[in-house]
Amino acid sequence: MPARAFVDCHSHVGPSGDDGARNVGEGVELCRDAVASGTRLLYATPHVWPDLRLHEARERRFREAVAEMATLLEGLELRIGFELTPDRSLLDDDPRRYRLEGTAVCLVETPFSGGLATFFAVAEHVENAGLTPLIAHPERSLSLVGTHGNVDALLERGWPLQLTASSLTGRSGADSEALAWRLLGSCDRVVVASDGHGHHRPARLDVAWNAVRERLGSEIAARAFDGSVLGVAPPPAADDALSASGS
């Protein structure tokens, strides 16, 4: 990219009752940090957990909060999606209600531990609905780290993979860092997202982008951060204030 203008397809900046932003003010603060670091299109993707389903009242409150946040922000387009934790109850739902707004993509997370049977069932359910499952943070799954057979089985499906920015800089541990770089260097359907939750994991992509550009080159960096893998048009180029934050 000639200038930084990132698409961040996975964050918890919208208050929804999960472990992300607790209120509109906190969400706006996270978003402004994202803007300062180069993000121009940000998806708020709250968890859909087995014990925190997307019932009507929760979805209404979340959408109202994101709409309020949008009025308080400049230089950022906020969109809505959801992050699905694999659970067999999702097989009775229409995946289209969970897709990333403006795409035919649905964010499905890999389990941090345990088997992958339900994960594959949910991802295939998404695919059977005519959508593409975007596989969230596979490098952080104990079911995949260090188990090349499972990773290869995932790669064979051809689904796009979403790596967490902080994994590329070592914050998720050496094994996750190694797998993240392996996937990024060997697969052309990889996107990097912040999975921003708060101050401990901000919605920032700039540090990871610099690392990818320096290690793998500008072409791979552009593809991983500009939304093209998701079929999203790249957002407008960053402004002078962004350039001042360093490249």
Pairing of strands 161-164, 105-109: unpaired
Mean pLDDT of all residues in the chain?
92
What pLDDT score does 234 carry?
A: 73
Q: How far apart are CA 110 and CA 122, in angstroms?
A: 10
Higher pLDDT, 106 or 153: 106
pLDDT of residue 217 exceeding 70, the answer is yes
pLDDT of residue 247 exceeding 80, the answer is no
Q: Is residue 220 within 8 Å of residue 184, measured between CB atoms? A: yes
Pairing of strands 39-44, 77-80: parallel
What pLDDT score does 228 carry?
A: 95
The tokens of 225 are what? 């951060």
Domain residue extents for the chain: 6-238
What's the pLDDT band for 244 if we cut at 50, 70, 90? very low
CA nearest 74: which of 225, 236, 197?
236
CA nearest 69: which of 14, 6, 20?
14
For the ranges 62-66, 87-91, 143-147, 224-228, which has the lowest average pLDDT? Answer: 143-147
In sequence order, the 6+-apart residues with CB closer than 8 A to the CB of 137 are 109, 110, 162, 163, 164, 167, 195
What's the pLDDT band for 148 if we cut at 50, 70, 90? low
CATH code, 6-238: 3.20.20.140
What's the pLDDT band for 238 if we cut at 50, 70, 90? low
What's the pLDDT band for 242 if we cut at 50, 70, 90? very low
pLDDT digits (tens, 9 = 90+) for 14-72: 999 999 999 999 999 999 999 999 999 999 999 999 999 999 999 999 999 999 999 99
CA 172 → CA 138, 139, 163, 178, 214, distances in Å? 12, 9, 11, 10, 20
pLDDT of residue 3 exceeding 80, the answer is no
Burial class of residue 109 in the structure, from the number of CB atoms within 10 Å of its CB (0-12 exposed, 13-18 middle, 19+ buried) = buried
For the ranges 71-85, 102-116, 135-149, which has the lowest average pLDDT? Answer: 135-149
pTM for the full predicted model: 0.93
In sequence order, the 6+-apart residues with CB closer than 8 A to the CB of 14 are 20, 21, 27, 44, 46, 62, 65, 66, 69, 78, 80
Length of the chain equals: 247
Q: How far apart are CA 188 and CA 160, in angstroms?
A: 8
DSSP classification of residue 159: -
Percent of the chain with pLDDT over 90: 83
Handedness of CA 194, 200, 206, 208 (dihedral sign): negative
What pLDDT score does 245 carry?
A: 39
Mean pLDDT, residues 69-90: 97
What pLDDT score does 241 carry?
A: 38
Q: Is residue 50 within 8 Å of residue 85, measured between CB atoms? A: yes
Percent of the chain with pLDDT over 70: 93
pLDDT digits (tens, 9 = 90+) for 97-124: 999 999 999 999 999 988 899 999 999 9
